[in-house]
């Protein structure tokens, strides 16, 4: 039985207590996990591939048939795959590609009349590592969402690591996605050891510039500890969805969408913000009816009982304020004239507007990326995109006359900061003229 908390949004104490409970899901560092991951990282840094394989044997019970997946195995997986699945993946890839191509940024050059030239270069990273969960928790959609924008950005090489299945073989659906998206190399390795291998490089696994992709707490902790050695996409917390709905919403749709995120994890959060108490009651009933037919019923029940809630408010404007306070990963607007609210919804990873823009559409198919900021970080983080795989460099060219015109200002500022060598680097160029 699922009983979501019902909170009157005007009751600030009750509302804030619920928000605090959400923060606690990811706010505490697991010291034991951190210590374990730190040891794995040190061991892999020193021991390379052999250390990675030793951890695979320790955690998975056996070593896979091969460390790097041969290209013919990837090709065979694509040949043997269900044609309908391949077609669906190709359609999704096309939508994701079409959306992300619009994110491409060009460099610029700005030439001034006095001969000064300023500009910026934008180019893709040299090599990116993609972590993809394997086994029963295999998500080929994650391959699409990470690899496609990387390719568009101009990344020269994508190295994928993914855990083997229990029988030591790679997950065939993951290989299909890798082949269709143009992943360059695939290694059968998972966990913190795979992240460490990508960050430092081994004899066989190349060192990468950035690591992207979802994983369990050990993977997330490894990425966090190695940030600075290598760039990462983000520190992802439990999945979350907030649905804004009024009396025009279909309670069946609302219930289904809330549970679509609750099934990810017992720590996932599903929140309904509504102006209709009657709708809230119908949604609760629909949740308990529909959950009986879902394969991850136990996870959904625990998630929604612990971290699910109905926030009752009086107006659309109040609902919008609450949504911005939560800053959810996924935000659905099942209200009359939803497009009218878009301009006021400032804090969300991805916004889904209207009754037929269900969140799973974004997970798999529509085009916008499904790698999104969680745990309220949508206040300042953005979804993964083409820009996530690029780097920018500025450049400056000055003529002698242009520098002479600027030198007094530069020297004054440098001396104010006590950086006389900075000032000297400018004045030394004009010493003869000043004498």
| Residue 80 Cα distances to 85, 86, 195, 259, angstroms | 11, 10, 30, 33
Percent of the chain with pLDDT over 90: 83
- Beta bridge partners, 309, equal 5, 271
Reduce the secondary structure of 70-117 to three states and give it as a string: CHHHHHHHHHHCCHHHHHHHHHHHHHHHHHHHCCCCCCEEEECCCCCE
In the set 329, 332, 359, 370, the catalytic residue is: 329
- Which region among 253-257, 359-363, 431-435 has the lowest average model confidence (pLDDT)? 431-435
| Residue 57 Cα distances to 163, 197, 376, angstroms | 12, 16, 38
pLDDT bin (cut points 50, 70, 90) of residue 236 is: confident
Average pLDDT (16-29) is 77
H-assigned helices in 263-296: 277-290
- Which region among 110-119, 163-172, 274-283, 296-305 has the lowest average model confidence (pLDDT)? 163-172
Q: Which residues are annotated as a binding site for NAD(+)?
A: 131, 193, 216
CATH fold of 31-232: Rossmann fold (3.40.50)
What is the C-alpha separation between 161 and 215, in angstroms, rounded?
11
pLDDT bin (cut points 50, 70, 90) of residue 168 is: confident
* Position 95 pLDDT exceeds 70: yes
* Position 28 pLDDT exceeds 80: no
What is the C-alpha separation between 293 and 280, in angstroms, rounded?
21
Between these two residues, 405 and 136, which has the higher pLDDT value?
Answer: 405
Domain 237-380, CATH homologous superfamily name and number: Nitrogenase molybdenum iron protein domain (3.40.50.1980)
pLDDT value, residue 11: 87
Active site residue 281: no
What is the C-alpha separation between 271 and 319, in angstroms, rounded?
12
In 3D, which of 162, 154, 157 has the Cα closest to residue 128? 157
Average pLDDT (96-107) is 96
Angle at alpha carbon of residue 252, lines to 249 and 255, rounded to 5°: 95
The CB-based long-range contact list for 5-14 (8 Å cut-off, 24+ gap) reads 5/308, 5/309, 5/310, 6/280, 6/309, 6/310, 6/312, 7/309, 7/310, 7/311, 7/312, 8/312, 9/273, 9/311, 9/312, 9/313, 9/314, 9/318, 9/322, 10/313, 10/314
Average pLDDT (192-212) is 97
pLDDT bin (cut points 50, 70, 90) of residue 29 is: low
Average pLDDT (47-63) is 91
What is the C-alpha separation between 312 and 9, in angstroms, rounded?
6
What is the C-alpha separation between 208 and 222, in angstroms, rounded?
15
What is the C-alpha separation between 297 and 288, in angstroms, rounded?
10
Q: Which residues are annotated as a binding site for substrate?
A: 239, 261, 264, 330, 363, 417, 422
CB 147 within 8 A of CB 182: yes
Q: Per-residue pLDDT tens for 308-366? A: 999 999 999 999 999 999 999 999 999 999 999 999 999 999 999 999 999 999 999 99
In the set 240, 330, 332, 370, the catalytic residue is: 330
5 contact partners, CB below 8 Å, separation of at least 6: 18, 308, 309, 310
Domain boundaries, the chain: 31-232, 237-380, 398-434
3-state secondary structure of 159: strand
Residue 269, H or E segment: strand 269-274
| Residue 100 Cα distances to 144, 148, 150, 183, angstroms | 11, 8, 10, 17
The CB-based long-range contact list for 229-236 (8 Å cut-off, 24+ gap) reads 229/199, 229/200, 230/129, 230/198, 230/199, 233/146, 233/371, 233/384, 233/388, 234/371, 234/373, 234/377, 234/381, 234/384, 236/371, 236/374
CB 163 within 8 A of CB 133: yes
What is the C-alpha separation between 296 and 298, in angstroms, rounded?
6
Single pTM value for the model:
0.91
* Position 147 pLDDT exceeds 90: yes
pLDDT value, residue 298: 95
Active site residue 370: no
Residue 70 burial (CB count, 10 A): 11
pLDDT bin (cut points 50, 70, 90) of residue 135 is: low
């Amino acid at each position: 039985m699922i009983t979501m908390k019902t909170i009157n949004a005007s009751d600030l104490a009750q509302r804030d207590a619920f928000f605090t409970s959400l923060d606690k899901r990811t706010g505490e560092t697991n010291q034991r996990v951190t210590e374990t991951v730190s040891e794995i990282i040190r061991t892999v840094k020193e021991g390379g591939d052999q250390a990675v394989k030793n951890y695979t044997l320790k955690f998975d019970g056996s070593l896979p048939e091969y460390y790097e997946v041969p290209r013919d195995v990837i090709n065979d997986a694509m040949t043997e795959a269900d044609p309908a699945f391949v077609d669906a993946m190709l359609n999704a890839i096309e939508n994701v590609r079409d959306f992300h191509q619009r994110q491409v940024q060009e460099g610029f050059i700005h030439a001034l009349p006095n001969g000064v030239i300023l500009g910026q270069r934008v180019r893709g990273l040299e090599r990116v590592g993609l972590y993809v969960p394997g086994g029963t928790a295999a998500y080929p959609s994650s391959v699409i969402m990470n690899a496609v924008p990387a390719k568009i950005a101009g990344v020269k090489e994508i190295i994928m690591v993914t855990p083997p299945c229990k029988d030591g073989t790679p997950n065939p659906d993951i290989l299909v996605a890798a082949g269709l998206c143009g992943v360059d190399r695939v290694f059968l390795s998972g966990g913190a050891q795979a992240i460490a291998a990508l960050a430092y490089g081994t004899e066989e696994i190349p060192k990468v510039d950035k690591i992207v992709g979802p994983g369990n707490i050990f993977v997330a902790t490894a990425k966090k500890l190695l940030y600075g050695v290598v760039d990462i996409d983000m520190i992802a917390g439990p999945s979350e969805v907030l649905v804004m709905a009024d009396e025009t919403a279909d309670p069946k749709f609302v219930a289904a969408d809330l549970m679509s995120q609750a099934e990810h994890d017992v720590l996932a959060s599903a929140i309904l913000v509504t102006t209709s108490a009657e709708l809230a009651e119908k949604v609760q009933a629909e949740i308990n009816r529909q959950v009986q037919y879902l394969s991850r019923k136990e996870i959904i029940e625990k998630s929604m009982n612990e971290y699910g809630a109905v926030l009752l408010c009086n107006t659309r404007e109040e609902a919008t304020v609450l949504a911005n306070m939560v800053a959810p990963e996924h935000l659905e607007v099942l209200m009359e004239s939803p497009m009218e609210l878009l301009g006021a919804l400032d804090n969300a990873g991805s916004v889904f507007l209207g009754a037929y823009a269900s969140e799973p559409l974004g997970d798999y198919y529509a085009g916008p990326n499904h790698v999104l900021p969680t745990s309220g970080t949508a206040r300042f983080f953005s979804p993964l995109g083409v820009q996530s795989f690029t780097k920018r460099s500025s450049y400056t060219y000055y003529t002698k006359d242009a520098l002479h015109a600027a030198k007094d200002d530069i020297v004054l500022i440098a001396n104010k900061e006590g950086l006389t060598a900075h000032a000297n680097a400018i004045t030394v160029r004009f010493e003869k003229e000043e004498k």
